[in-house]
Amino acid sequence: MLYSDKVIDHFTNPRNVGSLDKASARVGTGIVGAPECGDVMKLQIEVDDDGRIVDAKFKTFGCGSAIAASSLATEWLKGRTVDQATELKNVDIANELSLPPVKIHCSVLAEDAVKAAIEDWKRKHGDGDRDEGAAESADEGQAPETTGAPAGQGQPARADV
Amino acid sequence: MSLKLPVYLDHNATTPVDPRVLAAMMPYLTDVFGNAASRSHAFGWQAEAAVEAAREQVAKLIGASSKDIVWTSGATESDNLAIKGIAQMYREKGNHIITCVTEHKAVLDPCRRLGEAGCRITYLPVDHHGLVCPRQIADAITDQTILISIMAANNEIGTIHPIAEIGQLAKARGVLFHCDATQAVGKIPLNVDEMGIDLLSLSGHKFYGPKGAGALYVRRRNPRVRLTCQMDGGGHERGMRSGTLNVPGIVGLGAAAEICHAEMADESPRLTALRDRLHNGITEQLDHVKLNGHPAERLPNTLNMSFAYVEGEALMMKMKNVAVSSGSACTSASLEPSYVLRATGVGDEMAHSSIRFSVGRSTTPEQIDYAVEQVVRAVNDLREMSPLYEMAQEGGEAHGT
C-alpha cells in the first residue's frame, strides 16, 4: 500500500503510545474494533478538573493507517476540552492523513475510539443516566460495556476483544 | 561486507530472471527476431528451432514428451485453458469438476464461472496443514465427473498435496487430472507419467524465467486429452492456443527449466536450510508465533508464519527493508484475510497476523540473519503498541494461541 508521508511519519514515529491508569477517575478508556477484523484500538484520555484533556495515549493492533490514525487522534486531543474533542470527525483524520478509500474505516475507528473514551470518562463522572455506584462497578469490568459508543456512529464501537 | 537492501524474500510472488536465462534470450530479442510460424525463410526456421528446443527443455523438467507442451502467456492462462477447455470439450460426457478450496484464484475463478454456466463444482476442504484428502476426492467422483484439478503445492503456505496418489485414483476412475504446478515446478521433482497427471500448468517467472511465458502440458497418449481452445486464431500450438509465439520468452522459459533440472538436487536442500534458519532464528527469539502449512510436506523455500498480537501489513511496513507478503486483509482490496489460511482453520485474527517468506536462488545466510533481526525488532515494537498483547500480558484472554 502506498501511503502519504504523514501516515508514514505517524507510523514510524507514533505519538503517545502507551497506557494510562484505567482505574483513575480522571481517565476515560475506549476500546473499539475486533481482532478478527484486523483492527483493535485502545484510546485513553486524562481530563483535568476544568474538563480539559491533559494527556492522551493509545495502543493499536492494526495496519499502518490504523496506527497512524490513532496517533494523530491522540495528538489532536491533547489540550482540547472534552466538548471540543466530541467534535472530532473521521473525515478530518482521513483528510489530514490522505487515507486511500479502502482505509477510511481506520479513521472511523479512531473517531469511535475517541467517542468511547469520552463516554467512559463521562460515565465515571456520573453524567448520563447512571449513578455513581453503577459507574464504579462498570469500571472494574475487563472488557467493559463502558467502551460502547452510542448507537448511530455508523459502526458501533465494539469491545469484544 | 555490506548487505544490499532491501532483501527480497518473496520468490513465490516472482523471481528475478537468472542471468544465464537472460543471456539465452538476448539473441531472440535482437538478431533472431523471426516469427516461429514463418515457414518460408531462415528467420522463421531459426525461431521455430529455438521454440522446439525450449519445448524439449520444459518437457524434460516434468518428465513429459515435448509434443505435449502448449505455450501460453503464463499459469493463469494455462489454468483457464485446461479447466474451461476440458469442461467444454467433455460436456457430453459429464459436467462435474472436483477441486479444492485452497487452489489459486486462477483455478477457482474459472471453476466458479463454469459453475454459473451449469457445471457442478465440488470444492473439497483441506486439513489444518492444508492437505486435501485423496479419499474425499475418490468419494466425490460420480459418473458425471470429468476433471479433478488439484495444485501441486500451495502458493501461500507451501503445502505439497499427495499428487501421485491423486493421479493414481483419477486414472483408476477414468477421470482427467489437471495439476496447477505453478509453485512446484523447478522446486520439487515432478513427473507427469509417474504422477498420473493429464494436464499441468506452469509459469516461467516463478523459476527464474521471464514474465509472460508459461505452458500447459496436455497429455497426448494414455489417454489422449483434447480440449476446446479458448483463443481462436491461426491455429498455433496444435490448435489449442492461437497467437504468434513469444519466442524470446519461450527461449527464456526453456533455459530456466534446464537450469532447474540440472541444479534442483543441489538447490533444494540449500533453500530448505535457509528457510529453516529463518524459522529457527525467529522462534528462538519470539513467543506466540505459529507456523502455517505443513511442517514437512512443504516447498523447500516457503515459510508462512503468524505473529500473534500484530497485524501483517503493519509488520511489513515496520520491516520495510525485507520484501515479503502477508495474508492480512489490509494488503488486499477485500476485507477478508487469506482464504487459504482460513481454510486450514487459522482464525481470522491469526490470518491477519501472517507473513509469507519465500527464499530463492540469490538468498544468502546473511540476508536471512538480517531478516530475522528485522522481524524480531518489528514484532517487538508492534507488540509494545498492541492492546491485545497488553491484555495478554495482564492475564486476559490469550489471543491467537
| Interval B275-289: pLDDT, tens | 999 999 999 999 999
Which residue ranges make up each domain of chain A? 5-147
Question: Where does the pLDDT of residue A125 fall: very low under 50, low under 70, confident under 90, or very high at 90 and above?
Answer: confident
pLDDT in tens, B126-143: 999 999 999 999 999 999
* B162's grid cell: 499427495
Closest residue in chain A to residue B348, using alpha carbons only: A36
Question: In the predicted model, is pLDDT for residue A36 greater than 60?
Answer: yes
State the residue for C-alpha cell 494488503. Answer: B331
pLDDT at A126: 73
- The per-residue pLDDT for B1 is 60
The answer to whether B167 and B189 have CB atoms below 8 angstroms apart is no
Task: Report the pLDDT value the prediction gives residue A127, as an integer from 0 to 100.
Answer: 62
Q: Phi and psi at residue B101, in whole multiples of 5°? A: -65, -20
pLDDT of residue B19: 98
> Is A161 in Cβ contact with B391 (below 8 Å)?
yes
Whole-Å CA distances, B29 to B165, B214, B249: 42, 18, 9
pLDDT for res A138: 40
Residues of B at the A interface, defined by Cβ within 8 angstroms: 309-311, 313-314, 317, 328-331, 333, 335, 337, 347-349, 352, 384-391, 396, 399-400
pLDDT of residue B2: 82
Best CA proximity match to B384, nearest among A91, A18, A37: A18
**Residues 6 or more apart from B234 whose CB is under 8 A from it?**
B37, B242, B243, B244
SS3 readout for chain A: CCCCHHHHHHHHCCCCECCCCCCCCCEEEEEEEEHHHCEEEEEEEEECCCCEEEEEEEEEECCHHHHHHHHHHHHHHCCCEHHHHCCCCHHHHHHHHCCCHHHHHHHHHHHHHHHHHHHHHHHHCCCCCCCHHHHHHHHHCCCCHHHCCCCCCCCCCCCCC
Which residue has 491423486 as its cell numbers? B166
| Closest alpha carbon to A154 in A110, A100, A97 | A110
Over residues A75-96, the pLDDT tens digits come to 999 999 999 999 999 999 999 9
Average pLDDT over residues A104-112: 95
| Position B217, amino acid | Y
CB contact under 8 A, A1 and B347: no
C-alpha cell at A48: 483535568
Model confidence over A131-157: pLDDT tens digits?
444 444 444 434 433 343 333 333 434
Q: State whether A60 and B387 contact (CB < 8 Å).
A: yes
CA A119 from centre of chain: 10
Residue numbers in chain B where pLDDT is lower than 50: 398-401
Phi, psi of B129 (to 5 degrees): -95, -5
C-alpha cell read off for B147 = 476433471
B329 neighbourhood in chain A, CB within 8 Å: 38
CATH 3.90.1010.10 correct for A5-147: yes
Max Cα–Cα distance, chain A, nearest Å: 49
d(CA A161, CA B73): 47
A58 Cα to chain B: minimum distance (Å): 8
Averaged over A51-59, what is the pLDDT?
97
Check CB contact under 8 Å for B317 and A66.
no
Closest CA to A124 of A110, A105, A144, A138: A138
pLDDT of residue B226: 97
Secondary structure (3-state) at B203 = strand
**How close is the nearest chain A Cα to the Cα of B287, in Å?**
17
**Domains of chain B, CATH where assigned:** 7-13+264-393 (3.90.1150.10), 19-260 (3.40.640.10)
